[in-house]
Structure 1
Amino acid sequence: MNLVEQGDAFAAFWQERHLCTLATVRPDGPPHVVPVGATLDLATATARVITSGSSYKARLVGASGALVALCQVDGRRWSTLEGRAVLRTEPEQVAEAERRYAARYKPPRPNPSRVVLEIQVTRVLGNV
């Protein structure tokens, strides 16, 4: 998917400081929705969420990955990214995600058990 084709307003919206929600699915079926900070790499259609490796969202994604939805809203503007999340633990991947997070929000607090949920975006919904 080429997210650059979504246009300048879409790109700007995903660079502005907004909290997001991440929706995963529990093993028994109901959604698990939590607030997160997220970043989006338009060129690779990759969204990233940093979290603790022991978090429920990280456990739901697990080693095999999971379908997720990542959403942000600001008044009438909103955008949802759908795709498959994978859990990344490699130090260079965590450092890259932390760098991107710091650029959009602020430097994250130290967390030696930090992991990254990398989402390969396959569908975009919204009104931006």
Structure 2
Amino acid sequence: MWSIMRGETSEMTALAAAGDGLEYGAFEAAALLAEGAEAVLLVVTEEQPPQAYAQWIDDVPFPYAVGLLLTPGNEWQLSLNTDTQGTERTQWPHALNLLQALHTDQSACLHPWNNRLWNWQRNH
């Protein structure tokens, strides 16, 4: 409604995803960039769920939001594998782990979720 009231006509997509919503959002952003978008703003935000949902949702330690302005390039690569054997679940939500990797010059960041292993790789 806010974008309609403001007359905002740019393309927008909203995803409701599980613990790997960052990666699904990144693939959606990559598709928009491939279609010619100059930049895509990817926003990942999570709230702590009410206590009644704690047994099902335990990966959000506190409310947070991360915004990434994505542009065409090849500095980072994201791939998906199905073998999560031996890969421990990350301490923080995926978006916060990636933010740490971006700010500490890590060359890779692995995010396991269910039977999916997302591999963020920095191309030097």
TM-score, normalised relative to structure 1: 0.34
Give the number of the structure whose residues are more often strand, by fraction.
1
User: Higher Cα Rg: structure 1 or 2?
Assistant: 2
Higher relative contact order (CA 8 A, sep 6+): 1
